[in-house]
Amino acid sequence: MSLDMIIGHEAAAAVLGKWPERPYTLKLPHDSPVGRVVNAQAIRGFLDSGCAPSDYVNVFHRGEGLHPARFTADDRVAPASVQLLLDQGCTIQLRELNRWFPPLSAICASIQAETGCPGYVTAFITPPNRQGLDYHWDQYLGIVVQLQGTKTWELFEPKVDAPYRDHSMSTNLWQDDWVKQWQREGPDQTVELTPGDILMLPRGWVHNPHSRKSAEASVHLTFVLKERVPLWVAER
């Protein structure tokens, strides 16, 4: 269960040979455990059963995080709150599922063994016709796997070079004029993911994801690979 179980043998070999510099899409292999064992029903089941640990769940409404008291009780996410929050247009994030969901723990461990890059996997549930997080960039390579519904990704060329960990985070360098520019000029790429689609999203690429075109809730996983970059080498 290494990288080729998510993106296929040829694509995995290409990534190991040269790290992606521009976004592109792939299809989930037909024999992948993602989509079968790890599917939208399993992700939603953690919330509906009250098994999701509160420390690993975030809820966003219009880009702002909600206080955990709104949706937790006894260190678990309260099932009664989940559907209410989704009906109100909130996006639910289940962080680092590899820490508490054994199938994803095995997949992430195999990817690290193959690539030498540590990482984690996070799930997002966004109601139809809504948006959770808006314009931002990440410090690591993301492999986005769409499990349910559709999600539209508006993608923009990087504003900074080589963000990594706490270096050049979007929250630290943000300029409001950038959003006006992106809205005026439009995205450099627009990708619409449906179930079984994968988006390879290199670090630093600005993205504005939303499910405004989805007829049902959008559920996707983001596998994060922490690249071994020159800054990492210099630190050591």
Summarised one tens digit per residue, pLDDT across range 179-232 is: 999 999 999 999 999 999 999 999 999 999 999 889 999 999 999 999 877 777
> Which of 50-54, 154-158, 215-219, 221-225 comes out lowest in average pLDDT?
50-54
Confidence of residue 1 (pLDDT cuts 50, 70, 90): low
| Cα angle 153, 42, 34; round to 5 | 60
Contacts of 89 (CB under 8 A, 6+ apart): 61, 62, 127, 130
| Cα angle 103, 116, 207; round to 5 | 75
Which of 5, 234, 10, 15 shows the shortest CA–CA distance to 116?
A: 15
Pairing assessment for the beta strands 76-77 and 189-193 based on DSSP bridges: unpaired
Cα-to-chain-centroid distance, residue 3: 16
* 3-state SS, residue 137: coil
Q: Taking a C-beta distance cutoff of 8 angstroms, is the pair 191, 98 a contact?
A: no
User: Which is higher by pLDDT, 171 or 220?
Assistant: 220
Q: What is the pLDDT of residue 74?
A: 83
Calpha distance 204→50 (Å, rounded): 35
Q: Taking a C-beta distance cutoff of 8 angstroms, is the pair 131, 89 a contact?
A: no
Calpha distance 186→142 (Å, rounded): 22
